[in-house]
Amino acid sequence: MSWVDLVTNPQGLREIFSEGPPTLSGVSLHGLVVEREGPTLRLRLDLPGYPANPPAKWRRNGSNTVQVELLFGGVSELRLVGISTEVIADIDVRPGVSLEVRSASMVVSALAASVTVSEVVAYVDGGRWAGS
């Protein structure tokens, strides 16, 4: 079972990544926000891969990086150990919606009732080649 199978709204990701679900290994974590409503946990991350056949708008813009925001709702447990400004992490989302984020500098674990893709965007990351 892929992490995409656990998302409440997987259709958009499946259309964009028609070749198979994107990996959550080696992601660049941009943000982690905890909000009291829900309570919720938001993770904003750059995926390490780019779709083989991206949407036309992304091709026209020369985008080379996909950024996803995952919203974990109904968070019942949360643990954060360590912190860093440059986090390259491996993320594991398991049934029951159990989350683990591991990097050299931090570990995040959480239990939630659901996980939703709240945003998928593409942009030009100057440190990457287009389509890489």
Report yes or no on 58 lying in a domain: yes
In a domain, 21, yes or no: yes
Q: What is the per-residue DSSP string for 28-86?
A: EEEEEEEETTTTEEEEEEE-SS--SS--HHHHHHT--EEEEEEEEES--EEEEE---SS
Q: The whole model's pTM is what? A: 0.92
Low-confidence stretches of the chain (pLDDT beneath 70) = 128-132
Q: Has residue 30 been placed in a domain?
A: yes
Q: What confidence score (pLDDT) does residue 82 get?
A: 96
List the domain range (segments joined by +) for residue 56: 3-76+112-123
Residue 99 lies in a domain: no
Question: Is the CB of residue 99 less than 8 Å from the CB of residue 24?
Answer: no
In a domain, 97, yes or no: no
Domain presence at residue 65: yes
Distance of alpha carbon 112 from alpha carbon 94, whole angstroms: 11
Residue 131, domain member (yes or no): no
Query: pLDDT tens digit string along 35-66?
Result: 999 999 999 999 999 999 999 999 999 999 99
Domain count for the chain, please give it.
1
What's the confidence (pLDDT) of residue 22?
95
Does residue 88 fall inside a structural domain?
no
